[in-house]
Structure 1
């Protein structure tokens, strides 16, 4: 057994002084004065679960105009995905969920990490987004219209090995000419997606900005709403009642609004993002008031939203009213539940040893997550 000794454990349950024992990739003991075959002294440090980013795009690189990504070769996209995984793990992100990548690259990246070919966080992936013809992100998605076509498209993703099915309920910021909150896939079409996922117990996710899009997603039984930018009080209450997760992706809007047209972001996208940013603040208030379950996601890969800056999402959440512990919970326990993982996200015996060692207490400070001193994936120190 290898022991991290002299530190404090900090997870969703709070903070306490304790050693952590690791063996065969798992946490096997948490307690006082543990002894083992080897030991790492982390005195005065904090041992926390690795972060879970529930919304990334592995083949994107934070460029100003993401629509140009489709001009890149499959090889270039693959190299980029590998580099993004390395950047994420360097910042203590031990699990990511890819919600849209070209070809089957994210699925292949998942297998490469699992088989030890690549070093990086655990990957869950959707394969291709399911999108109405000409809808948001059509340049890298699977276009489908109507119940039957969406059913077939969903089954294609499952056949390819998707861990989650993703669709587009509304228009988006980064598709030229699309209206950000305009409904795209209908309730019936999203219901087809959900029903296709039922036999395998596969979770579902949808991009949705507007109140109508969010409500349509809840009615269809979608597992998580991504962005939820224009969420109103009724939509928040519907999500809370249904147990629908919200993945806010505050970093995505921040990257666009803070950099703007001057940085090369298309004017159409900047205009839409600035409008969305104002309404996003109210969405956060509605979600917190209704006690909507939040899982952390960044939309990493969108303009000026980089994989080695993923922990900034935690500060984005605390800046909007969440406590550091609530943000920690969103980035660990809630993310694990959303992805269907029952053995990651806590520092407890029986959990996978996906761990970070931090200089500050993450239950007290959102900035504690920046630049972790040590990172472990399945008990192996990678940073």
Structure 2
């Protein structure tokens, strides 16, 4: 059994930059999608000095003694492909959520920064944010450009405000396209403000009472295409919030880089995404949480049947997407109702595993694939010689099921972190 407190006591405290030598039961080589059994891992404050199935040399060890952890696995830290760092996912009171979103930008930023710092101690090294209208994401993007080990923040990639149509869905995290003289002006303004990518909102959301997307798309194919065209000279990827067949088609035909959510996607659309290199971030968690919190939401049995049917169909779409080779990323939509940051990512991992994605593939995406696809120029935090000594220690059984992935010990820059930075109620 993996008991974090017991394992933590076994890890030596580095002194005078003395190396630490661990032998772990399993180690994840996320780049190559393989598990190394009985791996030796040696690190100090400068980074990882040795990884392999053979013991390190005395020159590397400098008299360090081995700590044997046969029931422990070492994995790289996590990257969430879809978050909203300015929002608290654990807040379930609708009135309180509304009040929180109406606070002064300075208050929203202060809480978002505290939240982001807390995520490091929970194993999250980076995230691609889905947008906020108050500037918190852009501020955190700028602050987190230094290495996490230096600035104490996970890397936050932000689009600034999302782009939607005035009066349509998205006003709580977007600013309207209508505020600009042209689409190119809108994109240029986002880039000038510091956007790492461009977030567009071609559709609304699911009408849970009806069990369908009932509103017409808010962006046409031509508008999506122009937004993508305007983003290319700035080398900005375009992430598209899209659910419902018509809106998804607009996003695909417009040439976006990723489709977020994608509820009610068809097999033909998945094939088109594969052929055009469009990645899919399915975000099971926010819809799943509507079932978990159905009592608070006031959903009746009819709506619950809609939600289960929608999730079953979404799982089938994921299985088909994996079968035909669509690029799949793991994003939690953390900050949305009932989806806390960090733990919401683990919940998303569980849901994707349950839907048919292998445990190894899920772990490799959050540990490498997400960041490599969305931010290939960022320095990776992998379990490889020369990388920073920032990684997680979890139960070795996590490779059998994500359900065993809990209470990770976070080694950050060669030293263990504690998760006392912020209460779970802030996440």
TM-score category of the 2 structures, normalised to the smaller one? 0.7 to 0.9
Tell me the secondary structure at the aligned position of residue 396 of structure 2. coil
Matches within 5 A, 1:111-122: 111-114=142-145, 119-122=152-155
Within 2, Cα distance between the matches of 1:339 and 1:298? 15
Residues of 2 paired with 1:355 and 1:28: CA distance?
Answer: 14
Structure 2 unaligned residues grouped into runs of 5+? 1-16, 419-427
Give the match for residue 165 of structure 1.
198
Measure the CA separation in 1 of the matches of 2:386 and 2:116. 26
What does the per-residue CA deviation read over 1:66-121, in whole Å, with 9 as the maximum and x for residues that have no partner? 55543222233123212322442232111111111232111212333445796332
Aligned position for 2:23: 6
Distance in 2 between residues matched to 1:140 and 1:266, nearest whole Å: 25
Distance 1:61 1:176 in 2: 24
Determine the structure 1 residue equivalent to 2:129: 98
Distance 1:113 1:42, change over 3 A: farther
**1:172-191 map, 5 Å:** 172-173=205-206, 179=213, 182-191=216-225
Displacement of 1:360 in angstroms is 2.0
What is the alpha-carbon root mean square deviation over aligned residues? 3.1
- Aligned counterpart, 1:131: 164
Per-residue deviation, residues 208-240 of structure 1 (Å, max 9, x unmatched): 112222222222221111011111100111111
The correspondence of residues 199-238 of structure 1 with structure 2, limited to 5 A, is 199-238=233-272
Instruction: String of CA shifts for 1:337-360, please: whole Å, max 9, x gaps.
Output: 222235426322344444111122
Q: Aligned equivalents of 1:328 and 1:204: distance in 2?
A: 25
Q: Corresponding residue for 1:56? A: 83
Q: Residue in 2 aligned with 1:335? A: 370
Most deviating of 237-246 and 339-348: 339-348
The 3-state SS of whatever aligns with 2:392 is: strand
- 1:1-383 pair list within 5 angstroms: 2-7=19-24, 8-12=26-30, 13-16=33-36, 17-22=38-43, 26-31=47-52, 32-34=54-56, 35-36=60-61, 41=67, 43-44=69-70, 45-62=72-89, 63-64=91-92, 65=94, 66-114=97-145, 119-145=152-178, 149-173=182-206, 179=213, 182-260=216-294, 262-264=295-297, 276-309=310-343, 310-342=345-377, 343-344=379-380, 346-376=382-412, 379=414, 381-383=416-418
Query: Is the contact made by 1:130 and 1:150 (CA closer than 8 Å) also made in structure 2?
Result: no
Give the total of aligned pairs.
379
Separation (CA, whole Å) in 2 of partners of 1:95 and 1:335 = 10
User: Matches of 1:105 and 1:375 in 2, distance apart?
Assistant: 27
SS across alignment from 2:186: helix
TM-score in terms of structure 2 length: 0.79
Distance of aligned partners of 1:59 and 1:173 in 2 relative to their CA distance in 1, 3 Å threshold: farther
Q: Alpha-carbon deviations, 1:168-213, whole Å to 9, x = none? A: 1211149999946632211222222222221232211010112222
Distance in 2 (alpha carbons) for counterparts of 1:71 and 1:146: 21
What CA distance in whole angstroms lies between the structure 2 residues aligned with 1:127 and 1:55? 14
Shift of 1:375: 3.6
TM-score, with structure 1 as normaliser: 0.87
SS at the partner of 2:82? strand
Pairwise CA distance, 1:126 = 1.0
Task: Point out the structure with max Rg over C-alpha.
Answer: 2
Runs of 4+ with >6 A deviation:
174-178
Shift, 1:48, TM fit: 0.5
